[in-house]
Amino acid sequence: MASTYVLVINGKPEGPFTIDELKTKGLKPADFVRTDGMDDYKEAHEIAELRSLFGFARQNIMPQYFGSFDERAFAAIIDLAIVAGTFILISVIAMLIIPNQIARMMIFLLGLIVIPLLNFIYHILMEGSAKQATYGKILLKIRVCNEDGSPIDYSKAAARNLAKIVSNGTLFLGYIICFFNKKQQCLHDMIAGTLVMKDRLL
């Protein structure tokens, strides 16, 4: 079934319209549209299908809404649960197979090192990808970007997550600082030049 889009015209949603109907209406890159499966409206240039069909170039969107401290904290808890839960599941299976008590204890102790390392790698791979977010952030509808709204790459994601050492090393004051700036940047965001933006609502 061909995609149809609701189009915002003069501040009011109209449609849905087919692709051909959007063409007759002179769809522009900055027009707000929404299709099935999208929770919020997006500008037309943000949608891959419309970029391909209309020849739009993707533009950087200056962030206007930012992930709050509680959203970021909840996302971090979800992500840690995902990483730790995966390791624990694998560990339990391994301990059921391995009869040696010492080996079992070593697997348990290994988790104290492996889980934080896996969590670090997981954040870099997810935030530096096209998703720009870990699964926790995706659920909370927040994502990491450069200060101009453009996606970060893997090197910037690595720098950001390494900078969390500084935020943690300040007795978490590096996180509390987000309450005192308009863009809600934590210390590691300031160091890396990143933002945690929230998908805007129409």
Three-state DSSP class for residue 3 = coil
E strands along 115-169, which residues? 142-146
Measured CA to CA in angstroms, residue 103 lies from 27, 85, 87 at distances of 63, 20, 16
Residue 14 is encoded by which pair of tokens?
């109209």
* Residue 92: count of CB within 10 angstroms of its CB: 11
Query: How far is Cα 195 from Cα 183, in angstroms, rounded to an integer?
Result: 7
Mean pLDDT across 158-186: 90
- Does the pTM surpass 0.85? The reply is no
pLDDT digits (tens, 9 = 90+) for 27-59: 888 888 888 877 778 888 878 788 877 878 766
Indicate if the pLDDT at residue 64 is higher than 80.
Answer: no
* Residue 199: count of CB within 10 angstroms of its CB: 15
Most confident stretch, 36-40, 67-71, 198-202: 67-71
Indicate if the pLDDT at residue 150 is higher than 90.
Answer: no
pLDDT score recorded for residue 90: 87
Question: Per-domain residue ranges for the chain?
Answer: 4-54, 69-198
Residue 143 is encoded by which pair of tokens?
């994502």
